[in-house]
Chain A
Amino acid sequence: MKKIMLFVAVCSLMLSLIGCGKQNEVANISLMMWDEAQSPVIQQSIDKFNEKNEGKIVASIELVPWDSYWTKLDASLETKESADVMWMNVYLPKYASAEVVKPLDEYIEKDKLDLSQYIEGRVNAYNLDGKQYALPKGLDTVFVAYNKEMFDRYDVEYPQEGWTWDDMRTIAGQLRDKISEAGGAEYPIVMELDDQPSWMNFVVQNGGNYISEDGKTTGMGMDESVEAIQNMVDLMNEELMAPYTVLSETKGTDLFISGQGGMVFIGSWKASVLENSTLGADGNIGLIQMPALNGSNSSVLGGLGYCLSASSKHPDEAWELIKYITSEESLYNEAVNGIDIPAHAKAQEGYVKNFKNLDAQVILDASVTGFPYQSNGNFEWTSYVNDAVQKALSQIAPVKETLVEGATQAQEVLDELYK
Chain B
Amino acid sequence: MKIKKFIKGTMLVHIMLIIFSFIMVGPFIWMFLTSIKTYEETIRIPLQILPKAIQWINYGIVYDKFPFLTLYFNTFFITLITIVGQLLVVSIAAYAFSRLIFPGKNVIFLMMLGLMMVPGQIFIIPRFQLMVQFNLTNTLTALILPNIFNVFGVFMMRQFFSSIPKELDEAAVIDGCGYFIIYWKILLPLTKPGLVSLGIMVMLNTWKELMWPIIVNRTMDKMTLSAGLAMLIGEHTTYYEQVMAGAVISVLPMIIIFAIFQKQFVAGIARAGLKG
Residues of A bordering B, CB below 8 Å: 30, 34-37, 60, 62-68, 71-72, 74-76, 78-81, 83, 250-251, 253-255, 257-258, 260, 267, 269-270, 273, 276-278
Contact = CB atoms under 8 A, between A and B. Distances in A.
Contacts of A251: 43
A150 to B, nearest CB: 15
Given A68-B211, A257-B43, A258-B44, A75 B128 contact: yes
A81 B40 contact: no
Given A255-B45, A270-B236, A75 B218 contact: no
A271 to B, nearest CB: 10
A254 B43 contact: yes
Given A64-B231, A72-B214, A81-B128, 19 more contacts: A30-B218, A35-B235, A36-B231, A37-B239, A62-B219, A68-B230, A72-B215, A75-B124, A76-B215, A79-B125, A79-B128, A251-B43, A253-B43, A254-B43, A255-B45, A258-B43, A258-B46, A260-B45, A269-B235
Contacts of A63: 220, 231
The 6 A-B residue pairs whose C-beta atoms are closest, nearest first, are A65-B230, A254-B43, A269-B236, A66-B235, A258-B45, A79-B132
B239 to A, nearest CB: 8
B215 A35 contact: no
24 contacts: A30-B218, A35-B235, A36-B231, A36-B232, A36-B234, A63-B220, A64-B231, A65-B230, A65-B233, A66-B233, A66-B235, A68-B211, A72-B215, A74-B125, A75-B124, A75-B125, A79-B128, A251-B43, A258-B45, A258-B46, A267-B236, A273-B237, A276-B39, A277-B40
A34 B232 CA distance: 10
Nearest to B66: A36
Contacts of A62: 218-219
Contact of B40 (A65, A270, A278): A278
A49 B272 CA distance: 59
A36 B239 CA distance: 11
Interface of B: 39-40, 43-46, 65, 124-125, 128-129, 132, 137, 210-211, 214-215, 218-220, 227, 230-237, 239
A179 B233 CA distance: 36
Contacts of B214: 64-65, 68, 72
Contacts of A36: 65, 231-232, 234
Contacts of A68: 210-211, 214-215, 230
A248 B103 CA distance: 58
A277 B124 CA distance: 41
Contacts of B233: 65-67
Contacts of A35: 234-235
A71 B215 contact: yes
A81 B137 contact: yes
B119 to A, nearest CB: 14
B45 A78 contact: no
Chain B CB within 10 Å, residue with most, of A62, A75, A253, A273: A75
B130 to A, nearest CB: 10
Contacts of A64: 214, 231
Contact of B45 (A65, A72, A254): A254
Contacts of A75: 124-125, 128, 215
B95 to A, nearest CB: 35
Among B129, B132, B218, chain A packs the most CB atoms within 10 A around the CB of B218
B133 to A, nearest CB: 9
Contact of A270 (B215, B230, B237): B237
Contacts of A253: 43
A36 B39 CA distance: 16
A273 B137 contact: no
Contact of A257 (B40, B125, B227): B40
Nearest to A273: B237
A62 B39 CA distance: 26
A30 B138 CA distance: 13
Most buried by B among A79, A251, A276: A79
Nearest to A192: B236
B234 A66 contact: yes
Contacts of B236: 267, 269-270
A168 to B, nearest CB: 23
Nearest to A277: B40
